[in-house]
């Protein structure tokens, strides 16, 4: 302080101005770091948000400058509008670690209703992100067929059966690469087309990769895979037990298919086609080496979980319209006011 008082008036003004600018830079840096910690708006994805206090549970509340809506860090996640958080967390860990258990046993263990056990299961499965961003190297596209199912349709209008006409098959494409990455996609109901595979795997296979496929009696399936490969400029080869020029190991996709069939036919005793995508994710987790807690943390942070859960009926209706030969029958009339205001990816 003594040194400052000894300065001339001009140098004092200069020193004060320097301190003011330095302080301003520190405030800006602190503000920038604070903004980086704030979650983006789940409604419009904007990042310019500010704090508006806390809610009844003590969680920070934010408000978006663009859409003027307020939210917390849990808005849009599978915790959205949840009243029993501690039970839900234990339910999630049990579901991920122990695999499939009947809804009845889960409802008894956690002292919740049968409907709540079903809702929580699909809230969790809607929040799981198991499909890799990109497949590399040799990518096997394996087709598996499951029967079309409207399990749980209840009192809704039943499907009309035409005598002599078989039920439309549900084609699932299992993608697995040489780096142990894998995923399951419901491609079509009825005849499989190349455009059905394109809608599921577009921009998911790295340029320069090779598609491999097993020899099957269904040539139309290979034609669809070939159409997809040629459109995306990917080399295509076929293999079987006697002819496997690339020494490709198909255990990755084969075991995933077996896990999915066990889950659908033996453990759950049938799954509605509307929820096959969810059970495909569950089967993928059972065949992965990734730690369960990593999937749980990712699911709890994913901001599209609530939208995926509430919009399941609309997503399935759109899928039936674009990739199916069957008539769409609405099986759920539940509606949420917040179901349509969230922007989702991959719907």
Q: How far, in Å, are 133, 173, 233, 243, 255 from residue 239 at the CA level?
A: 26, 17, 20, 5, 17
277 with 144, same domain: the answer is yes
Range of the domain at 224: 138-287+311-323
Domain identity same for 159 and 247: yes
| pLDDT number for residue 188 | 92
In this prediction, residues 33-40 reach a mean pLDDT of 64
Strand (E) or helix (H) holding 147: strand 138-147
Domain assignment present for residue 331? The answer is no
The predicted model gives 196-202 an average pLDDT of 89
- In angstroms, the CA 191 to CA 198 distance is 14
Contact 78, 306 (CB under 8 A): yes
Question: Alpha-carbon dihedral of residues 119, 121, 122, 125, nearest 10 degrees?
Answer: 160
Other CB atoms closer than 10 Å to residue 66's CB: what's the count? 13
Count of beta carbons in the 10 Å neighbourhood of residue 310 = 21
Which pLDDT does position 33 carry in this prediction? 57
Length of the chain: 347
- Domain match, 278 and 149 both: yes
Is 247 part of any domain?
A: yes
**pLDDT tens, 301-320?**
788 888 888 888 888 999 99
pLDDT band (50, 70, 90) for residue 113: very high
| 174 touches 215 (CB < 8 A) | no
CA distances to 218, 230, 254, 264 from 260, rounded to whole Å, are 21, 29, 10, 6
pLDDT at position 234 over 80:
yes
* pLDDT of res. 347: 42
**Number of structural domains the chain divides into:** 2
For residues 31 and 40, the answer to whether their CB atoms sit within 8 Å is no
173 and 47, same structural domain? no
Tell whether pTM > 0.85. Answer: no
Last residue of a domain, one of 56, 72, 88: 72
Once rounded to an integer, what is the mean pLDDT over residues 249-254?
78
pLDDT at 276: 93
| Tokens linked to 314 | 């609309």
For residue 248, the model assigns a pLDDT of 65
């Amino acid at each position: 302080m003594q040194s400052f008082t000894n300065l001339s008036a001009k140098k004092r003004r200069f020193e004060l101005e320097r301190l003011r600018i330095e302080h301003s830079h520190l405030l800006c840096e602190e503000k920038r770091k604070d903004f980086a910690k704030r979650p983006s708006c789940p409604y419009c994805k904007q990042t310019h948000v500010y704090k508006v206090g806390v809610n009844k549970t003590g969680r920070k509340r934010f408000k978006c400058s663009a859409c003027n809506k307020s939210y917390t860090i849990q808005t849009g996640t599978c915790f959205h509008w949840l009243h029993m958080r501690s039970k839900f967390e234990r339910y999630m860990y049990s579901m991920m670690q122990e695999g499939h258990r009947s809804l009845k046993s889960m409802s008894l263990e956690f002292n919740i209703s049968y409907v709540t056990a079903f809702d929580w299961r699909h809230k969790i499965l809607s929040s799981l992100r198991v499909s890799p961003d990109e497949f590399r190297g040799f990518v096997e596209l394996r087709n598996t067929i499951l029967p079309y199912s409207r399990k749980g349709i209840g009192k809704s209008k039943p499907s009309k059966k035409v005598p002599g006409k078989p039920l439309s098959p549900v084609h699932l494409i299992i993608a697995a690469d040489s780096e142990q990455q894998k995923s399951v996609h419901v491609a079509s109901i009825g005849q499989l087309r190349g455009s059905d595979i394109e809608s599921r795997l577009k921009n998911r296979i790295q340029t320069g990769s090779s598609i491999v496929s097993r020899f099957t009696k269904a040539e139309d399936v290979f034609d669809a895979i070939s159409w997809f490969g040629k459109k995306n400029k990917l080399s295509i080869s076929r293999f079987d037990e006697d002819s496997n020029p690339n020494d490709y190991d198909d255990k990755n996709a084969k075991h995933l298919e077996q896990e999915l069939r066990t889950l659908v036919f033996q453990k759950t005793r049938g799954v509605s086609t509307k929820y096959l995508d969810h059970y495909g994710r569950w089967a993928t987790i059972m065949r992965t080496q990734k730690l369960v807690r990593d999937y749980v943390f990712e699911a709890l942070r994913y901001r599209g979980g609530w939208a995926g859960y509430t919009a399941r009926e609309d997503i399935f209706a759109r899928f039936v319209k674009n990739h199916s030969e069957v008539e769409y029958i609405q099986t759920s009339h539940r509606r949420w006011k917040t179901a349509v205001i969230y922007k989702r990816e991959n719907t």
